[in-house]
Structure 1
Amino acid sequence: MKPRNSTQISEFLLLGFAEDPELQLLIFGLFLSMYLVTVLGNLLIILATISDSHLHTPMYFFLSNLSFVDICSTSTTVPKMLMNIQTQSKAITYTGCITQMYFFILFVGLDFFLLTVMAYDRFVAICHPLHYKVVMNHQLCVLLVLMCWILSVLNSLLQSLMVSWLSFCTHVEIPHFFCEINEVVHLACSDTFFNDMVMYFAALLLACCPLTGILYSYSKIVSSILAISSTQGRYKAFSTCASHLSVLSLFYGTSLGVYLSSAVTQNSRCTAITSVMYCVVTPMLNPFIYSLRNKDIKLALRRYL
């Protein structure tokens, strides 16, 4: 199908959640509250891990990176939505949409990779405790985080560039509160076959490869925990993984749930509402999960505050 208009469009329209002004005011207050809690909670985790020398370990190094990514991913989508509600405008420029898409894909990919690296860290700590400090040295930790960034940047750059090559016609309404790549691609009037292939292939890699590594790590962790003779030893070993398992379940459960439900229902508005879970709610809950179940974080926060 040839595009009816080969000129580049200047803006998209983000439809958001509701048209009713009273409901929009409620949504504005709710999302502003969640955004502030997300930024404050994750910022406290970062400051606590930096300021307390007891937390200068690989596990908390990865945690502080995860908190930074959560702040960035939420800041990519929520402030623009809040500004649109405040100004009674739904517009986002073409350049702004591509930029928002790039950074959102970047930070979501980083979430997947960092959670995988954290699973590997717990695997070494529990399965090879005597070699933990040697294996998880500072150079390896930095290298792992750097690899996460490189892979995420390459993935988001490829997908954003492929979207920028598409031609868009007159229909530029996105039934979402941010420029979600799948919704934007479906608005194109040029052929999107290669875009769809790249999207599905990248989603498969981002979901399956890290998940395979996580499942392998935790299969070994469970075997090592079951081999511990004392109940207290088992509990102590499991408690070091409890927070990470909670965050893993929340992030993977919500993100996979959104994409599976969207594939079944094909309801864009429903997908926009459910995507709030992994875009906004999960980054907001992560600091609470780690601080409530972690004595070291609690002590560090008390010292810092």
Structure 2
Amino acid sequence: MKTVSIKHQYWDIAADLHFPPDFNEKKKYPAIISAHPIGSCKEQTSGSVYGTALAEAGFVVIAFDASFQGASGGEPRYIEDPTLRVEDFRVVADYLVTLDYVDDRRIGVLGICGGGGYSINAAMTERRIRAVGTVTGVNYGRLMREGFSGYDPIGALEAMAQQRTAEARGAALRVDDLLPPSPEEAKQRGLTEIDVYEATEYYRTPRGQKPHGANRSLFSHQGAAVGWDAFHLAEVLLTQPLMVVVGDKVGAFGAYRDGCEIVGRARSAKKELVVLDGWSHYDLYDKPEPVRKALGKLIPFYREHL
């Protein structure tokens, strides 16, 4: 593995390159851009689990931290702006095509959770992306308009506007911690819905906890996400081969619902919804059996289309 720094606009993106066994920089390899979930980082599922496995299968994989998050630059911190998240894919693709050992005609993407929605959206207008895979992918804009705003998007936007005005006048930034500090605290607060509880179990215990997987969001800058839709124009612009992997244990974050929707809407001639029976959203992050089953579908998909 090699950690690299990629120039964005006025900051750098931090990324890890994962290489196939017996890597030879004089050869040409297909490449996969691996995008992390909301509030996550490249050291978690996108890199350490899927990035490592796809590299073992023969791909050069680049797992990156979103701008304003993780080890990437950008101020203020913890911005979750879909437009910027999608632009990150273009910048990472720019970097890949400068590498002599990457075949620029064989670049794919894999997005996990919110990274799945961003991967789909990026592929619509970034034609260097030739195949799209998602694991428990979520349309973050839809989630912001629904559960993440308490099903009151207008009220949430009004509150964001007031907070942004306060910050412009010198008030302290409001940075929301998106999860309880521990599974025990989640239970005490009655936060036992499967996705919320299992997110806490993953991010707030040694199972998945990493220094840069902060699960924080700058409240005053969330407005762009409320008005965004990962699947907008999919019927027109999403033509690449598409594989969507979800578990059938349905949770509040809506990956199952979003997976069904995008496979139905995508213009792609080749598209497949893979439903893994008996597994949940966060099982697919790192648990060996569901990850093995997901990769059992994804690796042949990328080999065929890259």
Structure number with higher strand proportion: 2
- Relative CO higher for 1 or 2, CA cutoff 8 Å, sep ≥ 6? 1
More helix by share: 1
TM-score higher than 0.5: no
Normalising by the residue count of structure 2, what TM-score does the alignment of the two structures yield?
0.28
What TM-score, normalized to structure 1?
A: 0.28
